[in-house]
Structure 1
Amino acid sequence: MPAPAVRVRRVYEPPAPEDGVRVLVDRLWPRGLAKADARIDAWPKELTPSTELRRWYHGPGEGDHEEFRRRYEAELAAPEAAAALDRLRALAKTATLTLLTATKHPETSHAAVLEEELTA
């Protein structure tokens, strides 16, 4: 039996049996996606980037990814986020976690930062 894993997928991709626990990591519900079709097991909003950070990163001129990473990691260190992160880390030891995001570029999003935090 393979070891549990953490992976990132777009929420718009159809659910797959190998997804394990499906965790939505976006602050806002994805546009055009019915809740029944999403098969979301958890939506820990305390792990999502703040509205201010999200707007800065995706705003005019788009923010720098490394600066975004630094700011997001600081947000993840806050008590509520750290506790939620610990809960997901514990779950990741026993089950595959699929972090779901609506972003078009998951590799340069908060989901990739979160994946790294969970597997470190």
Structure 2
Amino acid sequence: LDKWLKEVGPSTELRKWFGHDVARYPEFKERYLAELTNNPVYYNSLKAIVQSKLPSQNVILLYGAKDEEHNQAIILADKLQKDLQLAIK
């Protein structure tokens, strides 16, 4: 682990509201993306790190959720992929 940007994750309030309820995932995604847009400082830091590492190094986003398909890392990876026009695995 090179860098932990806890602040780029969803707010505590949003995480608690989501509660890993799959039915709430679409709205969670909307709200999380809004948080990233409204406070871009930490996301932009992460984006700069990713941009500087690729393509020569891998970038791994860690998350603690048990659900591999419905979590903030999926949303974050998708946003990075779109913003940086990358192929992310």
1:58 alignment counterpart: 19
Q: Which has the larger radius of gyration?
A: 1
For the Cα contact (< 8 Å) 1:76–1:82, is it kept in 2? yes
Question: TM-score, structure 1 length as denominator?
Answer: 0.58
Moved over 6 A (4+): none
- Does residue 98 of structure 1 match 2:84? no
Q: CA RMSD in A?
A: 1.9
1:74 alignment counterpart: 34
Residue 92 of structure 1 deviates from its aligned partner by 4.7
SS at match of 2:61: strand
In the aligned structure 2, how far is the partner of 1:104 from the partner of 1:70?
A: 21
Deviations 1:64-85 (A, max 9, x none): 1110000000111113233224
Q: Which has the higher contact order (CA 8 A, sep 6+)?
A: 1
In the aligned structure 2, how far is the partner of 1:53 from the partner of 1:85?
A: 20
SS at match of 1:107: coil
Pick the structure with more strand per residue: 1
For the Cα contact (< 8 Å) 1:53–1:68, is it kept in 2? yes
Identity %: 34
1:21 alignment counterpart: none
For the Cα contact (< 8 Å) 1:49–1:72, is it kept in 2? yes
Pick the structure with more helix per residue: 2
**Residue correspondences, number:** 79
For the Cα contact (< 8 Å) 2:5–2:46, is it kept in 1? no
1:49 alignment counterpart: 10
Question: TM-score, structure 2 length as denominator?
Answer: 0.75
